[in-house]
Amino acid sequence: MKANSDATASRAIPSVQMLVAFTLALAFFAPGSIAQAQSADAKPSTKPAPEPAIEQTFFLHNVTQQSELADIQTDVRNMLTNAKIYSVASQYAISMKGTAEDIELAQKLITELDRPRKIYRLTYTITEMDSGKKTGAQSFSLIVASEEKTTFKQGSRVPIVTGSYDTSSTPNGAETQVQYLDVGLNIQASVGSSADGLMLRTKVEQTTVADEKSGVGAQDPIVRQTVLDGASTLSLDKPLVLGSLDIPGSTRKQEIAVIAELVK
């Protein structure tokens, strides 16, 4: 019996030793694993903080119309969808709030769009001819900025009676309604860039009062009018004939020409 008990005890000792060794190993590594798990759970988020917002105002130096300011504002707003962008029409300025990258891109866009305009001098010459011979000429010069319209007028204002009504404020009890008609020369011009030179959009209107009356009323005049309205391609420093017309009832003729010069 004693021999059997000693054999059993001898077999149990290795098992106990293995159990003790496993328990010691678990006790040794477990705290590190638990600490590592706790460290991973407690680790703060690495998401970067948002960039601080910057406020900036850009003053436009070459814009002269409200529509141009609105176009630039719309372009910048469409490109920078996350920025807040406003316009100050009275000062031709754009104010915005965004990141440093937004401000830098807005500055680049505004510099490209707010460009100085070229200035041209347009000289119109109206030549009168009779039976093929030059009898006289008149020249008129206009300063025109690129993509802007310039108007030139020369003449008189003719009163035209349009009606009358009874009133007690006048001795005869009637008040006359009068409108004024501009008579003379009217030139409108604008210049833009084109692949072949300058694109000229022009309207030349000339009106005169005829000697005869209309017959509708004692004071109603007959107004003669000539209008040239169209677009043409110009080359700098080269005259271009825009058109010519015959004067009805005579051998006279008028020819309208224009020449463009770059001022700056």
Give pLDDT tens digits along the chain (264 positions): 444 445 444 554 555 555 555 555 545 555 555 445 455 555 555 667 777 889 999 999 988 888 899 999 999 999 999 999 999 999 999 999 999 999 999 999 999 999 888 899 999 999 999 888 889 999 999 999 988 899 999 888 888 777 666 666 555 656 777 788 888 889 999 998 877 789 999 999 888 887 766 555 556 677 788 888 999 999 999 999 998 887 766 788 889 999 999 998
Domains of the chain and any CATH numbers: 54-113 (3.30.1370.120), 119-262 (no CATH)
d(CA 69, CA 87): 8
The region, left, alpha or beta by phi > 0 then psi within -120 to 50, assigned to residue 29 is alpha
Position 166 scores a pLDDT of: 63
Q: Judge residue 187's burial from the number of C-beta atoms within 10 Å of its C-beta, 0-12 exposed, 13-18 middle, 19 or more buried.
A: buried
Give the strand order in the sheet containing 197-213: 149-166, 174-194, 197-213, 221-234
| Contact by Cβ (8 Å): 210, 221 | yes
- Residue with tokens 């910057």, as numbered in its chain: 54
